[in-house]
């Protein structure tokens, strides 16, 4: 019998995991920054296309996060971009992107981050995104709100898409027709957009009210799971990413938005 989310959480210390994971993020960030400062020395491999890359930094940072969390909570499972999925002995699953924005990282641009989320059953309950260049830790736990370096933040309250900046993302997993109609519509409405190369970081900016939202036609769970928790706890709106078939391991569309532009952006993107 499948347990409900509340039943799954009964014997799991979420607070302890939250505090431990925040410390792990800072440790992993120091290691990632050391690699970033000597990026010319790194071995970089290409995945599916020349801009889809992975470096030794990605692999080692993920290993550090897994090892440190497993030391404290050996029964938990992991899903990471570089090392795949390892089921644990309970309903906890840590979803990890060791460096979101690797193409930026290896090209010496600062718009990259570390993203870690905790799922219990089918519910994401912890979201952490650390941006080492700016030393900003975006953190959220279910029912506790969202903070940046400990200070509470809220999603942007504007009520029209032309009143702020929209984040967008794109990958070669889908064609250009999945994004261009939305961009055309947004421009025609006198809206502005930005793409900085990191889904997790732009979702964090949306949770902090810096962007009015973020849209990507197809994204992997390790890129967006932490951002979903951050946005919900900041009072924003998120599409039903986990309700899509196989989204945890195969990805799905993502849309997050400030509460007063959510309906408008959902209609414009077609994402519910």
% of the chain residues with pLDDT over 90: 83
**What gap in Å lies between CA 238 and CA 221, rounded to an integer?**
14
Q: At 62, phi and psi to the nearest 5?
A: -60, -40
Q: What is the pLDDT of residues 233-249, one digit of tens each?
A: 999 999 999 998 899 99
Q: What is the pLDDT of residues 37-62, one digit of tens each?
A: 988 887 777 666 655 567 788 899 99
Residue 76, classified by CB atoms within 10 Å of its CB into exposed (0-12), middle (13-18) or buried (19+), is: buried
Domains in the chain, CATH or no CATH each: 5-153 (3.30.540.10), 161-269 (3.40.190.80)
Q: What is the pLDDT of residues 127-148, one digit of tens each?
A: 999 999 999 999 999 999 999 9
Place of tokens 């039903």: 240
């Amino acid at each position: 019998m499948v347990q409900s989310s509340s039943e799954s959480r009964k014997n799991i210390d979420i607070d302890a995991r939250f505090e431990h994971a925040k410390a792990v993020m800072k440790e992993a960030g120091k290691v990632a920054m050391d690699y970033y400062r000597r990026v010319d020395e790194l071995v970089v491999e290409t995945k599916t296309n020349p801009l889809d890359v992975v470096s030794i930094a990605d692999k080692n940072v993920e290993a550090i996060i897994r090892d440190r969390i497993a030391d404290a909570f050996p029964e938990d499972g992991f899903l990471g971009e570089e090392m795949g999925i390892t089921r644990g002995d309970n309903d906890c699953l840590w979803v990890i992107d060791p460096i979101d924005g690797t193409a930026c990282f290896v090209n010496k641009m600062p718009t990259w981050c570390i993203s870690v989320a905790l799922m219990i059953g089918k519910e994401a309950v912890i979201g952490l995104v650390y941006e080492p260049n700016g030393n900003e830790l975006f953190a959220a736990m279910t029912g506790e709100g969202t903070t940046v370096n400990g200070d509470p933040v809220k999603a942007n309250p504007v009520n029209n898409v032309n009143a702020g900046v929209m984040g967008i993302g794109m990958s070669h997993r889908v064609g250009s027709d999945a994004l261009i109609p939305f961009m055309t519509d947004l421009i025609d409405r006198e809206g502005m957009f930005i793409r900085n190369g990191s889904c997790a970081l732009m979702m964090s900016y949306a949770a902090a009210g810096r962007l009015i939202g973020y849209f990507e036609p197809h994204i992997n769970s390790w890129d967006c799971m932490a951002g979903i928790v951050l946005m919900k706890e900041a009072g924003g709106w998120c599409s039903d990413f986990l309700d899509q078939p196989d989204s945890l391991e195969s990805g799905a569309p993502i849309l997050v938005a400030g509460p007063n532009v959510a309906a408008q952006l959902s209609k414009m993107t077609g994402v519910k």
